[in-house]
Amino acid sequence: MKKKLLLIVFLIIICLGGLLLFSGDDFESDSVGLQGLDRVFIDYVYDGDTVRTAAGERVRLIGLDTPEMNWEEGEAEFYAQEAFEYSKGRLLEQHVYLEYDREKKDKYDRTLAYFFLADGTFFNQKLLEKGYASLLLIPPNLKYTAELKEAAAEARDLGRGVWSYWDNLSSELPEINWQEAADYLDKEVIVRGKVVKTYQSEKIIFLDFTKEGKDNLYLIIFKHNLNKFDYNPLELLLEKELKVTGKVVEYKGRLEIIIDSPLQIFIL
């Protein structure tokens, strides 16, 4: 009886081993909820947000933008090398799972995808959370907007990665009060002040340092750049003390700094 029982146990172990051996990647995929996604092998990493599969397909991660390496043009942007190394270390010569949104290709014929690692990690979210990328939401690919905004906000709040940009900036540029802006026309500066008024036109959001409307320095955010913000500037920045970096310019008699990215704004 003992021998028979041992034989049955042995056969069960053999069968389970066979299932694991032959189902292989499918077993792994099912175990982490990745079934139904395209599984690809990454054989080249261009930078933090773009890779190539073994089939020769260029794939770009949806919902984010890592700093540019500028391989052919010269010096890499701030934190580009770190983002490149992070993606390379986790994606190169690895199988990853791709999920697509409503638009599968961009104007450069790159495939657009959300990346999931074999353990189920949502890699797009992880890049933002750790500060290796900034937010870039482009319709109609907005499926994970809430998750990606939350990750970007966490990195911003904690000053991680690309958000540590401000740590060294103060030693590189003059820091002025907003009332001094006229003395720095056409120069890159850091301006400090409190936003006391916000409003918007059809295409622009205005942030004002004074309610009087004269002798003001206007912070200008074009609405087409709001896809880079994890927050609503009209609401979050009102009554906030800020440091803002950019070039002081004159337009129709008023002084402005154009805010192309939330990275230009540091909330005190």
CA distances from 195 to 18, 212, 233, 243, 258 (A): 66, 13, 11, 10, 15
Active site residue 52: no
Active site residue 160: no
- Identify any residues that bridge with 64 across adjacent strands, giving them in sequence order: 135
Catalytic residue among 39, 110, 160, 192: 110
CA distances from 237 to 30, 53, 231, 232, 267 (A): 44, 42, 9, 8, 8
Active site residue 60: yes
Catalytic residue among 28, 57, 68, 99: 68
- Identify any residues that bridge with 41 across adjacent strands, giving them in sequence order: 95
Concatenating the DSSP letter of every residue in the chain gives -HHHHHHHHHHHHHHHHHHHHHHHHHHHHHHTT-TTSEEEEEEEEEETTEEEETTS-EEEETTEEPPP--TTTSSPPTTHHHHHHHHHHHHTT-EEEEE--S--B-TT--EEEEEE-TT--BHHHHHHHTTSSEE---TT--TTHHHHHHHHHHHHHHT-GGGGHHHHHTTTS-EEEGGGGGGGTTSEEEEEEE--EEEE-SSEEEEES-SSSSS-EEEEEEGGGGGG-SS-HHHHSTT-EEEEEEE-EEETTEEEEE--SGGGEEE-
Catalytic residues: 60, 68, 110
